[in-house]
A and B are shown apart, each in its own frame.
Chain A
Amino acid sequence: MLAAPLTSAEIEGIRARFPILRREVNGHPLVYLDSAATAQKPDAVIDAESDFLRTSNAAVNRGAHSLAGEATEAYEDARATIARFLGVDENEVVFTSHATEALNLVAYSLGTASSGSGAGSHPDAARFALREGDEIVVTELEHHANLIPWQELAARTGATLRYIPVLDHGGLDLDAAATIIGERTRVLAVTHVSNVTGGVTPLEHLVPLARAVGALVVLDACQSAPHLPLRPRELDVDIAVFSGHKLYGPTGIGVLYGRTELLDAMPPFLYGGSMITTVTMEHSEYLPAPQRFEPGTPRLSQAVGLAAAIRFVEEVGLDRIAATEHQLAARLLDGLARVPGVRILGADNPAPRVALASIVVDGVHAHDAGQVLDDRGIAARVGHHCAQPLHRRFGVSASLRLSAGIHTTEDELDLAIDAVAGIRPFFGLGEGAEA
C-alpha cells in the first residue's frame, strides 16, 4: 500500500522546525522553492552541529583522551545512521566534502588504476584500469559534477566518453541506451533524478544493460536522496553519492556509498594521515574503506549534523515524503502548464518525478523572471543549474527552477504559480506566446 501524504497539520509542524521559514524577504514571508540547490536546515540539524562543537569536539581516530573517544563515537555513530538510511554496511559509507568530491574520488581512483603506477600498480587495482577502446557512458542530462570528472578521466586514459541522449520530451532515449551500453562499456555514471526536469531515471532499464557487460555503475543520488527512499543495493548500483546540504544537513559534507569489495580494491584518491597502515620514506600501505578514502581530519560536526538530518527525514518517513511530493509535483506542473507563455522543460516526460520544475517564460530571460518572484519573497533558482548540455538540448541557455522541500505547502506553490503568471505582464508582454 502506498504511504499517506503528509497532512496540512503535519506540514505545519514540520515548518515550525525550520527557523528560517519565520523570516521575511522583501516584505513577504519567505517562500523557499530552491531546495534542489540547497535545502534549509531544521533546528535538529543546527542544534546537533552546535552541540557537538560545544560539548564533544576533538580529533577523531587518534589520541586516547576521553574527549577524543567521545568525538570518534559521535562520528562513527553518524556513519552508522547513514548506513542504516541506505540499507548498507557501515564500512561502505565514506564521508567526503560534497557529492562533487565523491564523484571525483571515483574518477581519480579509476585514473590512478589506469596509470598502473603508484597505488595504481597494486594488483587489486588492475580491474579498474581504463585504456583506449574502453568506454565511459553518461547521459545528456547530467549535472556538470557527473560529467566533467568523466570527461577528464577519458582524456587521461584514452577511453571514450559516450552519452545517452535526451529525447524531446526530456526523458532518456532508452533505445539508444541499449546500443550505447555494450561490451566496451566500463563505467555507467547516471543521475537518479534530473536536477532540471525532476524526472526519475529509469534505472530498471539502464542498470541491467550495464550489469550484462560488467560495467561499474555509479549513481548520482543528490536529487533523489531528499525525496525518495534511496536503497543502492535494491537499485543494484555499485556506487552512489549524495550531498548533505540538499538533505537538510550541513554544507561541507557528502556521502559516497560503495560496495565493500570495490572500495577496498580501488586506489585511494587523496593521500595523507588517517588512511594508512605502514609508512616508510619510500612506500605506504593503505587502510581498507572507509578510512582509505578519508585522509586528514574529517568533517566532524558536519557528519553529526548530517546524521541528525537523516533522523529528521526518517522520523517524517521517506515514503510519506515521496507521497506528498507526488501531489505537490502534480499541482506545480498543472498550475504552471496553465500559465500562458510558460514552457516547462521536460513536461511531457512520462517518468515519475519529484516536485521540481524548470520553466522558460517566453520573451523574458530567466534572470529577469526570477527577479519578479524574488520581489514577492519567493526564492527560486535561475540559470543553467550546472546542466548546460541539457539546456542546450532544450534550445535554451537558462531557466527558472522551482523546487519543493519537506516544508513546502500547496499554498506556497500557488503563490509561486501566481507570481509566474505575473512575469510576462510585468515586462509588458501580452497573454499567450509571442509569435
Chain B
Amino acid sequence: MSGLEQLYQQIIMDHAKHPHGTDLAAGEETSHQRNPVCGDEITLALRWDAAGDRIADVAWEGSGCSISQASASLLATLAEERAAEGEAWTPEELTALIAEFREALRSRGAIALDEERFGDAAALSGVSRYVARVKCAMLAWVAAEDLLVRRAGAGS
C-alpha cells in the first residue's frame, strides 16, 4: 500500500462519504472547532446517559476535508459501539482515549492506534505520517476534549 493509500484507507473514504452521527440538534451544548489553515469545521456534542455519568452518544456536524469528517464520524461510531456493548465511556475514559489518540497521531508513524481500543478509528493511524494533516484528524477529538474540560470545570 502506498503512503497515500494508507492515509486514505477505504474505511476513511467510506466514513467521509457517508458520515455517522451527524444528527446534531438545536440547543445542544457543543464545541465548535476550526482549522483556520484549511477552513475545516466541526461542531460536536457529547450526549450523556440518564445518570449523567457516561457518554451515550456523540453527535456532530461539520465541513472540510475527508480526514476531518471521517475522524468525527469514526469517533461517533466508536462511542455508539461502546455504549451498545454496555461499555459507554466515563469522562475519564474518554479523556484518556483522546490523549492516546493524540499521542499516536503526533508520533510521525511510530505509534499505531490499537484496534481493540479504537475499532475502525484505528484506520486513522496513517495520518500520523502526514504532519500537516494531524490537525484535521484531531478536530473532532479536540471538540470532545473541550466539552470534557468544560464539564469538569463546571463540576468543581
Contact = CB atoms under 8 A, between A and B. Distances in A.
Interface of A: 26, 364-368, 371-372, 375, 382-384, 397-398, 426-428
A397 B39 CA distance: 6
Interface of B: 2-4, 7-8, 13, 37-40, 63-67, 130, 133, 136
Contacts of A382: 38
A372 B39 contact: no
Contacts of B40: 367
Contacts of B65: 365-368
Contact of A367 (B2, B3, B4, B67): B67
Contacts of B8: 368, 371, 426-427
16 contacts: A26-B3, A365-B66, A367-B40, A367-B64, A367-B65, A367-B136, A368-B65, A368-B66, A371-B4, A375-B2, A382-B38, A384-B38, A397-B39, A397-B63, A426-B4, A427-B13
Given A365-B66, A383-B37, A371 B13 contact: no
Contact of A372 (B4, B13, B37): B4
Contacts of A426: 4, 8
A434 to B, nearest CB: 12
A371 B7 contact: yes
B136 A428 contact: no
Given A366-B65, A397-B63, A398-B38, 8 more contacts: A26-B3, A367-B65, A367-B67, A368-B65, A371-B7, A371-B8, A384-B39, A426-B8
Q: Which of B7, B38, B66, B136 has the most CB of A within 10 A?
A: B38
B4 A398 contact: no
A383 B132 CA distance: 12
Contacts of A367: 38, 40, 64-65, 67, 133, 136
Task: Identify whether the interface residues of A are mostly helix, strand, loop, or mixed.
Answer: mixed
A427 B38 CA distance: 19
A427 B10 CA distance: 10
Nearest to A367: B65
Contacts of B66: 364-365, 368, 427
A428 B2 contact: no
A398 B63 CA distance: 11
A367 B13 CA distance: 14
Contacts of B7: 371
Nearest to A366: B38
B8 to A, nearest CB: 8
A26 B129 CA distance: 12
A435 to B, nearest CB: 16
Q: Which of A371, A375, A384, A426 has the most CB of B within 10 A?
A: A371
